[in-house]
């Protein structure tokens, strides 16, 4: 990856719907160059997917999860909903899970279900008050 690839990625991270022509104009390269480089980054797994982020209209939670030593992490993860962002981390906790629901009552229901998963030893939950993007 070179500087042009990084600049293309920076543009797409800010606005995943930005046109290749717009990126090409900003970087002073051809539209074909941007298209080819994006395809190469997709082929190499640098770009996994393009997503749409919705504005928060409900409640968001960040849950730190400690697993028991005998539990298989993949077995635990498979029991989570597909709309959760799951991060394996180092330190006191094993997973950090982020998700949104319509209200705090629904957040609480999800937390109850997480705590009921075999292998989940402890949770620590943070409710997001305000999310800031730079």
CA neighbor of 66 nearest in space, from 98, 39, 89, 33: 89
Domain that holds residue 107: 59-127
Same domain? For 96 and 70 the reply is: yes
pLDDT for the residue numbered 102: 87
The pLDDT score that the predictor gives to residue 63 is 97
Instruction: Tell me, yes or no, if the pTM score tops 0.85.
Output: no
Q: Identify the pLDDT of residue 52.
A: 57
In angstroms, how far is the first alpha carbon of the chain from the final one?
Answer: 24
Residue 49 pLDDT? 76
Give the pLDDT score at 96: 97
- pLDDT tens per residue, range 109-123: 999 999 999 999 999
* Ranges in the chain, pLDDT < 70: 51-57
Inter-residue contact 95 to 120 (CB < 8 Å): no
With respect to residue 25, please indicate whether it lies within any of the assigned structural domains.
Answer: yes
State the total domains in the chain. Answer: 2
Q: Are residues 84 and 115 in the same domain?
A: yes
Please give the pLDDT value at position 56.
Answer: 55
């Amino acid at each position: 990856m070179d500087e042009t690839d990084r600049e293309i990625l920076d543009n797409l991270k800010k606005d995943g719907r930005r046109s290749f022509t717009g990126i090409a104009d900003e970087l002073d390269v051809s539209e074909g160059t941007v298209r080819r480089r994006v395809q190469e980054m997709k082929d190499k797994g640098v770009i996994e997917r393009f997503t749409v982020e919705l504005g928060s209209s409900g409640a968001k939670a960040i849950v730190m999860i400690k697993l028991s030593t005998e539990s298989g992490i993949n077995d635990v993860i498979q029991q989570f909903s597909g709309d959760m962002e799951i991060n394996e981390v180092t330190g006191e906790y094993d997973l950090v899970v982020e998700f949104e629901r319509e209200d705090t009552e629904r957040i609480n229901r999800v937390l109850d279900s997480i705590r009921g998963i075999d292998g989940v030893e402890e949770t620590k939950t943070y409710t997001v008050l305000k999310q800031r993007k730079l």
